[in-house]
Amino acid sequence: MPPLLTARDISKHFATRLLFSGVSFQVDERERIALIGPNGAGKSTLVKILAGLEEAEEGEILPRRGLIAAYVPQADVFEAGATVRSAVVDALAKAAADGVIGHLHDEHEFEIAADMTLYRCELGDLLDTACAKLSGGQRKRLSIARGLALEPDLLMLDEPTNHLDVEGIDWLEEVLSTGDFASISVTHDRAFLEQTATRIVELSRAYPEGTFSVKGNYGEFLKRKTEFLEAQAEHERSLSNQVREDLRWLSRGAKARRTKSKSRIDASYERMDQLAELRMRNATQKSARIDFTATGRETQKLLVGRGLRKSYGDKVLFDGLDVMLTPRSILGLMGPNGSGKSTLIRMLMGEIESDAPTAAMLKEDEETKKALPKGTPDLGVIQRAEKLRMVLFSQHRTELDPDKTLGETLSPSDGVVYRGQMLHIATWAEMFLFTKHQLRTPIKNLSGGEQARVHIAKLMLEPADVLILDEPTNDLDLASLEVLEESLEEFPGAIVLVTHDRAMLDRLATRVLALDGEGGSRYFADYQQWHAITRAEEKEKARAAKGGTAKTEPAPEPKQASAPAAPKKKLTFTEKHELDQMEKSIEQAEAKVDALQAQIGTPEVLADHKKLAAIGVKLGEAQKERDRLYARWAELEERV
């Protein structure tokens, strides 16, 4: 069978900036492609071109005859007044009118297809609900449902895990992994990549053809990418040496050059052009410099809340909740959409108050007073350390004015003061991978990832005791994610982390607080414990529903350690993959050492001093590499 879709030599500019050039792309049946790349590389634009929503400046798109393609945008937009059912029905009606689908013909068939898809997407109990009243996660599911209802051959999704909770991401992984269609997902969610992708394509000007494609999971991609970039860097070093020789030769007098062939002169200039291009490609592999500023406060209890409760009407979000934030603690806040995570954040920030009774309100109730532990703060009250400084990273980025320029947003003047040092605005922008030419670019013209970096740049200028991060990973590229994790790991204050990025939670969270949206809350030691217990409970519920006896897992008690020790630095996603491959790498290194030792003992080599010296140098390098691998293995094992 021919491929579902083929793109040849696609090029595109955004304003005066070249996004990509000469990009070729092919999608085969049931292939699950993850499209990754640096912020601003043009991933969203490329997918829109593949979906036929934008025109390429050069090249061609060749869909297979009769291809049904569906596109799910990053922003979930619905018509004013639309309901859950009507949003899908209208999408089907439009597709039928445009000739995209031919298997549905009238309103009745549209409604049946819509309802079937919505039940499959776990939205069956919201059919007549207004889209405006849906949570972020429900809106994302509805957007995906609109695409699935077309029964596409190819489903294209731009950042599909944004706004989905962990359960929603599990659902989406199941949909993509078992669906009878191909997919292209623009995503930076590493766990999602690992679970769903059969091929990973990185769009970046670091590669000679604009993309780098690897069949397999994210771990395999990282290995192959490292090998390619190391080879490219080595090529640059080799070419640089040749160009130095060319320059020496070309700098000789005209008389000496006349005796040389024109072909050598042409070859010299060609090598210089190649070197300039290589340097440009290798220089693109940068990541933003992220390093939050702490106040240096040594208070052990930064924030303490006891007996917190919040409800809206008859719906109780949480009740009897205790929270304590201490230096070097990272509290992972989890729960389904609408469970109260944002409400709890607003309560911690002091924007809303707990509606639980306080001890003062209960002063007439002697039994309740006696039941309170000695020294317990008032119920429903949050106590903050004196002059506590809290900084919020909001997923909605409402702090950014879309009409202001990048330079105006980063600083109203020509410089910023960072950790007591004055930096020029261009230098500050460069730390976040912006050029001086972008300083006049309006914020609304930046990509989602670029806006995320701007938001982080602003927050880094605010010294904080407590960082509250609400979905900080949305739109950040993979390189920036790694740097963000490193920075958070080193932050000496307390962090409250709300994220759907399971890899980040697994690495960073020293405790996990899970809200169930029905008034309940539980603490877990870390993400792995949360995952293991909740999955076990789900299996027990499923078994009970089939007539078995469910065993109830006792809820872990909240841990309120007053001053937890600094957590052991966990392995990054890349380091985990490195550790998995370490035994194989050591075996290969040992084999190389053995082979060189065998060579060095042969009569032929012993009789040739030049060969003996050359192999001796190689043997020394091989032994150093073997020793380095053993030391690295021990270092990684120590942190498991």
Q: CA angle, corner 134, sides to 356 and 497, nearest 5?
A: 55
- Residue 416: pLDDT band with limits 50, 70, 90: confident
pLDDT for the residue 87? 95
Strand pairing of 58-63 and 182-186? Answer: unpaired
For the segment 323-344, the average pLDDT, to the nearest whole number, is 89
State the residue for tokens 């083929």. 6
H-type alpha helices, 98-129: 107-120
Per-residue confidence at 255, pLDDT binned at 50, 70, 90?
low
Which of 23 and 556 is assigned the larger pLDDT?
23
Distance of CA 265 to the CA centre of its chain: 48
Architecture of domain 302-389+465-528: 3-Layer(aba) Sandwich (3.40)
How buried is residue 162: exposed, middle or buried, by Cβ count under 10 Å (0-12/13-18/19+)?
Answer: buried
pLDDT at residue 560, as a whole number:
40
Q: What pLDDT is stored for residue 367 in this prediction?
A: 56
Strand partners for 405 = 442
pLDDT at 568 over 90: no
Contact 110, 86 (CB under 8 A): no
Write out pLDDT tens, residues 218-253: 888 888 888 888 888 787 777 777 777 777 766 765
Task: Count CA within 13 A, CB hemisphere, residue 333.
Answer: 26
- In this prediction, residue 558 has a pLDDT band, given cuts at 50, 70 and 90, of very low
447 confidence band (pLDDT: 50, 70, 90): confident
Residues whose CB falls within 8 Å of the CB of residue 633, separated by 6 or more in sequence, listed in order: 579, 582, 583, 586
For the ranges 87-101, 222-236, 355-369, 582-596, which has the lowest average pLDDT? Answer: 355-369
Over residues 78-105, mean pLDDT? 91
- Collapsed DSSP state (helix, strand, coil) of residue 633: helix
Which of the four pLDDT bands, split at 50, 70 and 90, describes residue 131? very high
Distance CA 579, CA 227 (A): 17
Q: What is the pLDDT of residues 158-173, one digit of tens each?
A: 999 988 888 889 899 9
| Cα 515 from Cα 521, distance rounded (Å) | 5
Q: Which two tokens stand for residue 91?
A: 């999408």
149 contacts 113 by C-beta, under 8 angstroms? yes
pTM of the model: 0.67
Q: What are phi and psi of 416, to 5 degrees?
A: -130, 155
Categorize the per-residue pLDDT at 211 as very low, low, confident or very high, splitting at 50, 70 and 90. very high
Tell me what percent of the residues of the chain surpass a pLDDT of 70: 85
Residue 261 pLDDT grade (very low, low, confident, very high; cuts 50, 70, 90) = low
- Tell me what pLDDT residue 565 has: 45
Number of Cβ within 10 Å of residue 267's Cβ equals 13
**Which residue did the predictor score with more confidence, 214 or 640?**
214
Tokens read off for 104: 């549905």
Using 50, 70 and 90 to split pLDDT, how confident is the model at 184? very high
The Cα-based distances of 73 to 114, 159, 353 in angstroms read 19, 8, 37
Dump pLDDT digits (tens) for 452-509.
888 888 888 888 899 998 888 877 888 888 888 888 888 888 999 998 888 888 889 9
- Asked whether residue 525 carries a pLDDT value surpassing 70, the answer given is yes
Query: Given this model, what pLDDT does residue 330 score?
Result: 92
Nearest Cα neighbor of 184 from 38, 30, 57 is: 30
Q: What is the pLDDT of residue 39?
A: 82
Residue 639 reports pLDDT greater than 50: yes
Between CA 287 and CA 206 the distance in angstroms is: 13
Q: In this predicted model, which residue has the larger pLDDT, 398 or 534?
A: 534
Mean pLDDT value across the chain: 82
Checking if the pLDDT of 118 tops 90, the result is yes
pLDDT for 286-309, tens place per residue? Answer: 666 777 766 766 667 889 988 898
Q: Which of 12-21, 311-320, 424-433, 557-566 has the lowest mean pLDDT?
A: 557-566
Could you state, in order of their start, the residue ranges of all structural domains in the chain?
5-222, 236-283, 302-389+465-528, 404-463, 573-638
More reliable by pLDDT, 385 or 379: 385
Task: Give the CATH number of domain 5-222.
Answer: 3.40.50.300
What is the distance between the alpha carbons of residues 101 and 225, in angstroms, rounded to a whole number? Answer: 39
Is the predicted pLDDT of residue 71 greater than 50, yes or no? Answer: yes
Can you tell me the distance from the alpha carbon of 618 to that of 594, in angstroms, rounded to the nearest whole number?
12
Which structure tokens are listed for 455? 């938001």
| Residue entry with tokens 């954040």 | 345
Residue type, 439: L
CB 193 within 8 A of CB 216: no
Residue 553 pLDDT more than 50?
Answer: no
For 473, other C-beta atoms within 10 Å of its C-beta total 23
Alpha-carbon distance of 69 to 47, in angstroms, equals 11
Count CB-CB contacts under 10 A for residue 601: 9
pLDDT tens by residue, 381-396: 888 888 899 988 887 6
Two domains, one topology: 5-222 and 302-389+465-528: yes
Three-state DSSP class for residue 636? helix
Q: Are strands 466-470 and 494-498 parallel, antiparallel or unpaired?
A: parallel
Residue 583: DSSP 8-state: H
The token pair at 59 is 């090249």
Q: Is the pLDDT of residue 375 over 70?
A: no
590 touches 329 (CB < 8 A): no
